[in-house]
Amino acid sequence: MTVPFGDRLHAALNTWGPLCVGIDPHQELLAAWGLSHDARGVEEFSLRVVEAAHGRVGVVKPQVAFFERFGAAGFAALEKTLTAARQAGLLVIADAKRGDIGSTMRGYCDAWLSAGSPLEVDALTVSPYLGPASLQETVDTAYAAGKGLFVLAATSNPEAVGLQTSQGSEQLTVATQVVREAARAREDNLASDSGWGSVGLVIGATVDPAPYGLTPEGLTGLPILAPGFGAQGAGPEDIHRVFADVSDQVIANESRSILRSGPSLIAGTIESAAARYREVRHG
């Protein structure tokens, strides 16, 4: 039987702590690392990050856009990165933010969540803004395959605040409706030793949960992918401040603040950062 993603994530965070290393091969980072601004440079950069992350953290998150911009060669680099990460025993969250309906969304599921697919990952970020219920088939597919989803709920970009805090049916904010759908998916799929669902949420570490209507009670058992750590201003101590009673469910993503250390220092940077996050989580 396939182990649910929620259980695998729970085990990884207990072992390695909450730090997730973002693999974001920006043009300026490639230049700083002395690499070419092309698919070959992206591949070398990403494989070095995977090597540095191995044995130091449990989760990595490639940002798909930085591979996709180089077309077929970029996707080939991404495939090699995903394969290397899986072979290293890392959980991989593809930050692709897919969201569609019907056969189109099934195609995305086949690409990212199917066993043996060249782009197979452990979890995928998805957008609920065609209606949270539009993701139901994707949720069913993820659970059946032992995969995970992270649904955009309360993102850290300021342009999203008006939409995500606006109220819809039952006087609930849009973000709260997204959370309720994730909680319902967890309740419908209770074959989990850890009690964690395999459908989680994206909630920015720089976000105040209150205007979004988000409460610890509503988030219980839902993994939280939290961007905003490092270069965007949040630090390890903010996990407890922002997420309170559900802080153990947080995956703290850092990208630029780690990647800027360069190829010769990145392994040590990851190791020291991971230790700080573990101390906060277990301290």
Could you count the other beta carbons within 10 Å of the beta carbon of residue 185? 22
Task: Return the domain boundaries, the chain.
Answer: 5-277
Helices (H) and strands (E) in the chain, counts: 13, 8
Q: Provide the greatest CA pair distance for the chain.
A: 54
Q: What is the pTM of this model?
A: 0.96
Catalytic residue among 61, 80, 97, 147: 97
How far apart, in whole angstroms, are the C-alpha atoms of residue 137 and residue 247?
29
- Inter-helix orientation angle 71-87/39-53, to 10°: 10
Question: Any idea which fold 5-277 has?
Answer: TIM Barrel (3.20.20)
With a CB cutoff of 8 Å and minimum separation 6, the contacts of 163 are 129, 174
Q: Is 80 a catalytic residue?
A: no
Q: Which amino acid is at 257?
A: S
pLDDT tens-place string over residues 15-30? 999 999 999 999 999 9
Residues contacting 237, CB < 8 A, separation 6+: 280
Confidence of residue 1 (pLDDT cuts 50, 70, 90): low
pLDDT digits (tens, 9 = 90+) for 216-262: 999 999 999 999 998 888 899 999 999 999 999 999 999 999 999 99
Higher-confidence position of 157 and 27: 27
